[in-house]
Amino acid sequence: MTIKRIVQLSVIVILLFTSFASVNNAKAWASCPSTYYVQPGDWLAKIARNCGVSLSSLVAANPWVSYSYYIYPGQALSIPGGYDPVSYYCGPGYNAYGSYYVVCRGDTLGGISMYYGVTVSHLQWRNGIPNANYIYAGQVIYIY
C-alpha cells in the first residue's frame, strides 16, 4: 500500500467517526425535558447517554448525586440543556362565551388584534387590560 492510500483511508475513517458523533448529539437534545423522572432500569450513565449530556454535567446539575450514586424510579433529575415542555394550550379557541385566544410565548396584543381584525383598544376594554404591553403566556384574551 502506498502512503497516499493510507492517508485516504485514515481520512475516511476519521470522517466516519465524526459523522456518527454528531448524529448522537443532534438526536439527544431534542428528546429530553429539563426534568427527567427516573424509570425502572435506569442508571446515571444510561440517562446521560440518552439525553446527550456527559455524566459529569449530569452530576453537576444534581449535586446530591455525588454523595450517593443510587437513584430510584420516580426520582426527578435536572437535565442540563433540556427543553421545557409547554404545560398549557395556547392559540385560538371558542366556547359558549364567544371567541378567545390563549396567549402563547412571544405573542403581542397587537398581533392578536390583527389576527382577529379588531383594535388593540377593543381587546384592552373587553379584557380589562390597562397596559397593552403587559400580557403573559397562558392568559386568556376574550375577543368579542
pLDDT in tens, the chain (144 residues): 788 888 888 888 887 766 655 433 333 343 577 888 888 889 999 988 888 888 888 888 888 887 777 888 888 888 887 766 655 678 898 888 889 998 887 889 999 999 999 999 999 999 999 988 888 777 889 998
Alpha helices in the chain (DSSP H): 3-29, 44-51, 55-61, 109-116, 120-127
pLDDT computed for residue 119 by the predictor? 95
CATH class of 91-142: alpha beta
H/E segment holding residue 133: none
Q: How many Cβ atoms sit within 10 Å of the Cβ of residue 65?
A: 17
Q: Just give the CATH number of 28-85.
A: 3.10.350.10
What are the structural domain ranges in the chain? 28-85, 91-142
pLDDT computed for residue 22 by the predictor? 41
- pTM here is 0.42
pLDDT computed for residue 10 by the predictor? 85
pLDDT computed for residue 50 by the predictor? 85
Give the separation between CA 111 and CA 130, rounded to whole angstroms.
17
Give the separation between CA 50 and CA 59, rounded to whole angstroms.
15
- Angle between the N-to-C axes of helices 120-127 and 109-116, in degrees from 0 to 180, rounded to the nearest 10: 100
What's the helix, strand, coil split of the chain in %, to 5? 45, 15, 40
C-alpha grid cell for residue 45?
Answer: 450513565
